Amino acid sequence: MKARWLGLALLVVLIGAGAWYWFGIKKPDTPQYRTATLEKGRLIASVSATGTLVPVVSVQVGSQVSGQLKEVLVDFNSQVTKNQLIARIDQVTKNQLIARIDPESFEYRVRQAQADLDAARAQVATQQANIAAQRAAVSQVDVTLADARRDLERKQQLLDKKFLSPAEVDKARAMVNALVEQQKSAVAQVDVARATAGNAAAMVKQREAVLSQARVDLERTAIRSPVSGIVIKRSVDKGQTVAASLQAPELFIIAEDLTDMRVDTAIDESEIGKIKVGQLATFTVDAFPGKTFEGAVRKVRKSAQVVSNVVTYLVDVSAPNPELQLLPGMTANVRIVTDTFEDALKVPNAAIRFRPPQSSDDKPAKSRRGEGDKSGRGNGRPDPSSSTIYVLKNGELKAIPVKTGASDGKMVQITGEGVTEGLEVVTGIKGEGGGSGGGSRKGSSMAGAPRMF
């Protein structure tokens, strides 16, 4: 009897264990969904992009002459000044000297140009003396010619009184004619001397220009700062030879004011139409995690940049830097506020991306984005703003077609029939990472993702 009861108890235990195994392990799991509440509130639409911090004004300092660097007077992070006072009495100012090229060869060129100028000026003096000599010769001829004409008149009077032969008169007339021609030649010699003197004077101006150019080149051996600011790059060292041929070699880069910087932000062509001058912007840098910097859109450049067939436009975002924390070259994650919506119905982006899991017996689901949309644009194409959200009704998923609007990167605005505040929408399946679409990881997780406005 005891063995009988023992066998019955063992049978009950086996039946219970089988039931527990069947209902607890073998029974297919019912998915447990994560949900979020459809809420109404303020939605700030924005465009996100990356950019690079650069100074508003940065000047590349080069050399206009070639030679060996004799001195390099500044280094990285050196403060430089424009219009530095160098003579207090006369209030003479010059830009700060930051480097010097060996001036010896340029000094010799100045001396040579000065000597050539002195020679040209001496030549001018010689030509002026020649002009004076030619003018004296003209005066001498004039005196001789006047005397010859008086002699001709006297002989003509004697001829009329039959006191002199005609041959003497003809000889006096020939003398006058010869002196007239000599006078013309002397005047021509004066003109030649004047022309030669003018040529010598022009040569003086040419030599003066050569001397001025030599002095300018000598002055250019002293490389000075064109702006007041800070040296952010030094490309040369003392003793290095620089060659200024087709373009000036880069020696330094000077940032004029690091307290006022900008972010050069590349915006995709699909988003550039939403960017306007004056829009508020925020950005973060990896150097200061958790800290947000503020700025505004200063300029939208109209020149496109094409990289790997991707068209972007550069947008200048102001970056005030009073504490000098931001450094040139830092990568900034920029968020530009394009619009603000009050009382917008919004859900997390995960609700738009979610797609129900497919069992092995199900046929592959069609893309929900624009599925069955016959009215989208009148040409059979899906409406890019159409999507689908899912709600739980009696434990089953129910699809609700919606239209997406603006997004701030986390929440998205939706509208549609049956979409009301407080509605619980499915955002994912519990136990799965990311919550971005449950079991539909195969190609459909982004099918209904909204575009950023």
Q: What average pLDDT does the chain have?
A: 82
**CB-CB contact of 99 with 251 (8 Å):** yes
For residues 222-241, give the mean pLDDT: 91
Residue 441: what pLDDT?
36
Residues facing residue 389 across a β-bridge: 400
Describe the crossing of helices 166-220 and 104-160 by its angle, rounded to 10 degrees: 170
Give 23's pLDDT tier (boundaries 50, 70, 90).
low
Q: Give SS3 for 164.
A: coil
Give 432's pLDDT tier (boundaries 50, 70, 90).
low
pLDDT at 25 over 80: no
Spatial separation of the C-alpha atoms in residues 276 and 47, rounded to whole Å: 12
Spatial separation of the C-alpha atoms in residues 96 and 79, rounded to whole Å: 10
pLDDT at 288 over 60: yes
Residue 409: what pLDDT?
77
Residue 312: what pLDDT?
95
Instruction: Report whether CATH 3.90.1150.10 matches the domain 47-55+260-340.
Output: no
**CB-CB contact of 413 with 448 (8 Å):** no
Tokens encoding 215:
């002095």
pLDDT in tens, 111-161: 999 999 999 999 999 999 999 998 898 899 899 889 888 888 888 888 888
For residues 47-68, give the mean pLDDT: 92
The residue ranking higher by pLDDT, 435 or 420, is 420
For residues 51-74, give the mean pLDDT: 92
Its pTM stands at: 0.62
Nearest to 257 by CA among 326, 332, 334, 331: 326
Q: What is the CA radius of gyration of the chain?
A: 49
Structural domain spans, the chain: 47-55+260-340, 67-98+224-254, 105-220
Strand segments (E) across 88-204: 92-94, 97-101
**CB-CB contact of 394 with 435 (8 Å):** no
Residue 316: what pLDDT?
96
Distances 405 to 37, 344, 445, 449 between C-alpha atoms, Å: 18, 10, 19, 11
Beta carbons within 8 Å of 83's beta carbon, 6+ residues apart: 93, 94, 95, 228
Residue 5: what pLDDT?
63
Q: Cβ–Cβ contacts within 10 Å for residue 194, how many?
A: 16
pLDDT at 74 over 70: yes
Judge residue 260's burial from the number of C-beta atoms within 10 Å of its C-beta, 0-12 exposed, 13-18 middle, 19 or more buried. middle
Judge residue 354's burial from the number of C-beta atoms within 10 Å of its C-beta, 0-12 exposed, 13-18 middle, 19 or more buried. buried
pLDDT in tens, 295-310: 999 999 999 999 999 9
pLDDT at 445 over 90: no
The residue ranking higher by pLDDT, 43 or 90, is 43
**CB-CB contact of 126 with 250 (8 Å):** no
Distances 353 to 56, 261, 387, 450 between C-alpha atoms, Å: 41, 38, 9, 8
Nearest to 350 by CA among 436, 431, 422: 436
Beta carbons within 8 Å of 99's beta carbon, 6+ residues apart: 69, 71, 72, 73, 74, 223, 236, 251, 252
pLDDT at 196 over 70: yes
Residue 6: what pLDDT?
66
pLDDT in tens, 356-402: 876 444 444 444 444 434 333 344 444 557 889 998 888 788 899 99
**CB-CB contact of 390 with 438 (8 Å):** no
Tokens encoding 379:
């040409």
For residues 190-196, give the mean pLDDT: 90
CATH number listed for the domain at residues 67-98+224-254: 2.40.50.100
Q: Listing from the earlier edge strand, what are the strands of the sheet with 222-224?
A: 222-224, 97-101, 67-72, 241-242
Question: Terminus-to-terminus CA distance in the chain, angstroms?
Answer: 82
What is the β-pairing status of strands 293-307 and 280-285?
Answer: antiparallel
178-179-181 Cα angle (round to 5):
70
Residue 33: what pLDDT?
85
Residue 446: what pLDDT?
34
